[in-house]
Amino acid sequence: MDASFLLLLLALFSITLVTQGHAGGYLGKEKVTNLHFFFHDSISGDHPTSVLVARPKGTIVKYGNLLPFGTVYAIDDPLTEGPDLNSKVLGHAQGLYVSAGQDKRLLVLVLDFGFTSGEFNGSSLSVFSRNPVLETDRELAVVGGRGKFRLAGGFAELHTHSFNTSAGIAVVEYNITVFHYE
């Protein structure tokens, strides 16, 4: 055996070790979890959960004053067990949404869904997705997570439960299917 062959063997062996180390050290078996909750977003009233951060210069009103193209909101929205805002709080969705449609009301979300109760208390899911809010049913991409949701991937199915456009209050039902490790 010459030296380069030995080096190659050594390199292969250490790659195997590193791979096993990752799987064994951090991750368990893959599993699928379904989550169900209601998301409450309020852009007005005494305690808005969603605040305007920036809007475009000048007036660009193609589809009304609610969320015109170019506006950016920061949110901290409660996630509850039922459609009633007073039902049990399961966590909060925090982050940004950008109104990113020129001709139709469409948001792009960059959100962390952090859970504060039950099995996933302290863990969170990362959502980065377009959200055509005017369609009653839509789907978002779940691109990652923290805690028990490390390396998570999946999707969220959304259904608008109610949308009071004059008050700017939306209640959205979420069913999330997420693949992650135990």
Ligand X SMILES: *[C@@H]1O[C@H](CO)[C@@H](O)[C@H](O)[C@H]1NC(C)=O
Binding site for ligand X (CB under 6 A): 36, 116-117, 121-122, 157-159, 164, 166-167, 173, 175
Question: What is d(CA 130, CA 101) in angstroms, rounded to the nearest whole number?
Answer: 10
- What torsion do the CA atoms of 121, 138, 34, 119 make, to the nearest 10 degrees? 0
- Least distance to ligand X, CB of residue 92, Å: 13
Residue nearer to ligand X on the CB measure, 48 or 70: 48
Residue nearer to ligand X on the CB measure, 20 or 121: 121
- Least distance to ligand X, CB of residue 148, Å: 12
Question: What is d(CA 178, CA 175) in angstroms, rounded to the nearest whole number?
Answer: 10
Residue nearer to ligand X on the CB measure, 72 or 130: 130
Residue nearer to ligand X on the CB measure, 102 or 162: 162
- CA distances for 116 relative to 6, 62, 82, 85, 132, angstroms: 52, 39, 16, 16, 28
Q: Is 86 exposed, middle or buried (0-12, 13-18, 19+ CB in 10 A)?
A: exposed
- Least distance to ligand X, CB of residue 91, Å: 10
Radius of gyration of the chain (CA): 21
The single-letter code of the amino acid at 170 is A
Which helix (H) or strand (E) segment holds residue 120: the answer is: none
Residue nearer to ligand X on the CB measure, 98 or 123: 123
- Least distance to ligand X, CB of residue 43, Å: 12
Tell me if 160 sits within 8 A of 83, measured CB to CB: no
- Least distance to ligand X, CB of residue 58, Å: 29
